[in-house]
């Protein structure tokens, strides 16, 4: 049992070490420190097409590794940063850039969130304003007099007595009248 456990741990250690080695940026070496910095900056600005919310520098996807290698080879062959970016954009579109250029095809990316916030704000404002107006509606004079009469009759009513001072029939008919008015 111990040898099986030891074998499994040894295999896991070897595999994790080779996987970690495969995704390090140490394998991309340059003769010039400026080229090294340019490479690192460039892969930070390019989006991983698999992960979509990670840069090429941080992604461990196979496609990200391939793109890092492609960028490395292009820079090593003497191509400029602009040429590399142009190649990637022509191949994968503006989506590959974290900050795509402002052009008609990217208006939705740049202005879409602001438009959605504006529309949401207008809907919220109109909803709140409508509810406030509904609460502030004044009662008509007739409604106010009826309400005052009902409230004053309820205040003077005692349990078991008729507020009108007559028999209970009069009180019942006034209740029936108020139900008919509704």
pTM of the model: 0.51
Task: Kindly tell me if the per-residue pLDDT of 165 is higher than 80.
Answer: no
Q: Is the dihedral of CA 55, 58, 64, 66 positive or negative?
A: positive
The tokens for 152 are 């004053």
Task: Kindly tell me if the per-residue pLDDT of 132 is higher than 60.
Answer: yes
pLDDT class of 103 with cuts at 50, 70, 90: confident
Question: d(Cα 90, Cα 25) in Å, to the nearest integer?
Answer: 25
Domain coordinates in residue numbering, the chain? 19-100, 102-135
Lowest mean pLDDT across 19-23, 158-162, 176-180:
19-23
Is 41 or 141 the better-scoring residue by pLDDT?
Answer: 41
pLDDT digit string (tens) for 3-50?
A: 766 666 666 666 554 444 445 666 777 888 888 899 999 999 999 888
Top CATH class of 19-100 equals mainly alpha
């Amino acid at each position: 049992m111990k040898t099986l456990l030891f074998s499994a741990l040894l295999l896991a250690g070897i595999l994790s070490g080779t996987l970690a080695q495969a995704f390090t940026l140490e394998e991309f070496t340059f003769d010039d420190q400026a080229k090294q910095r340019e490479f690192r900056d460039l892969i930070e600005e390019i989006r991983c097409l698999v992960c979509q919310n990670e840069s090429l520098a941080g992604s461990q996807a196979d496609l990200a590794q391939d793109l890092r290698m492609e960028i490395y080879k292009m820079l090593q062959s003497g191509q400029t940063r602009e040429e590399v970016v142009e190649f990637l954009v022509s191949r994968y579109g503006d989506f590959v850039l974290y900050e795509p250029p402002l052009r008609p095809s990217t208006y939705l990316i740049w202005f879409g969130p602001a438009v959605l916030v504006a529309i949401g704000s207008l809907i919220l404002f109109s909803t709140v304003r409508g509810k406030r107006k509904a609460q502030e509606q004044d009662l008509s004079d007739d409604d106010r007099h009826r309400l005052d009469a009902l409230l004053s009759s309820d205040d003077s009513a005692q349990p078991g007595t008729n507020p009108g001072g007559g028999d209970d029939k009069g009180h019942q008919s006034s209740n029936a009248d108020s139900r008919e008015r509704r």
